[in-house]
Amino acid sequence: MKKITVIGSISKDFVVTTEQIPNQGETVVGKRFRTFFGGKGANQAIALSRAGMEVFMLGAVGDDALGTDLIHNLEYHHIDCEMVSTLKDVSSGSAHIQIMNGDNRIVIVPGANDLISIADVEAHYEKLKQMDMVVLQNEIPVETICAVIDFCVKNQIPVLYNPAPAKEIPESYIDKVSYLTPNEHEFNILFQNQELSEVLRRYPNKLIVTLGDRGAIFYDGKNEIMVSAREIASIVDTTGAGDTFNGFLAKGIMDGGSIKQSVQLGNVAAGLAIQTEGAQDGIPIYEKVKALL
C-alpha cells in the first residue's frame, strides 16, 4: 500500500446558527450549536484514509483538551499521528462560525497550526523519505511549505500542493511541485492577470483548477480537458468538498490512474461529500465512490 503524509492544519469548528448577529456589547440567543472536526490538513488526511491509503499526519495541536480530541479523531480514522506535535502553552486551532440566513461570519484562531516550523519538519525527515507522496495546503506558515517542497524535490517525492486558502508563494515553488490544485479564486491569486488557458498550457498534467459545480479543468499536453462534476440533487454543506477532491485525486494518482481518471474520482467523491453536514462527516469511502464511476 502506498504511503502518503499530509502536512497541514488540524482544528475544530464551533458553529452557532442564529436569527440575529449581536452588535457590540449585545447578547442574543442562538438557535443551534454544533461542533465539527476540521482543518484542511486533517480533512485531506481523512479523505485519503477513507480512499484506502496508508496515511500519516504531520502537524501540531495545543496542550489542551481540544488537542487530545483532535488527535483521537485522526487515530480513529486510522491515521498515524506520530509526527503530530503537542505544543505547550499554545491553543489548538479552531474556527468560530456564526450563521444567519445562510450567511456566515468566521473567526479563525490558527493556534498551533501557525507554529509548525521548518525544524518540526526536519525532525521527521527520515520518516518522510519513506513516503510515496506528500500533500500540502496553505494553513501552515509559507516558509515551512517551501522547506517541505525543497526536501521533497531533493528526495524525489511527489508533492500535491493545494494552495488553499489563497496565499502568495514564490513562483519557483509552484514550478517544483508535482500537482497544483487551486480553485478559481486561488488561481487568480497565484497567477494574477494571467489567462487560465495560457497557464494551463505552461503546466500540462500538473495544474488542475477546480471549478465548483462545473467540475475541474487541466491541460494534457494536447488539449484542455474539462472533467464535469456529477449533478447533485440536494447540496447540504460544501465545506470540505475541495479537501475530499484532493484526497481522492491523490488516491487515483497513486493507483496509477491517468489525470483524467483521478480527477473523475475526485469529482465523484466531492459530490458525495456535499450531501452531508460537516467537512469530514460526509467524506465517502472508496467503494461508494468507485460504484458511481
Query: Which residues are known to be catalytic?
Result: 243
Single out the residue of 98, 95, 97, 99 nearest to residue 108, CA to CA: 95
- Which residue stretches of 155-293 are H helix? 171-176, 184-190, 196-202, 241-254, 259-273, 286-292
For the chain, give the number of residues.
293
The residue written with cell numbers 473523475 in the block is 264
CB burial of 47-58 (b: ≥16 within 10 Å; e: otherwise) equals bbbbbbbbbbbb
**DSSP 8-class letter at 214:** G
The Cα–Cα gap between 111 and 100 comes to 26
What amino acid occupies position 280? Q
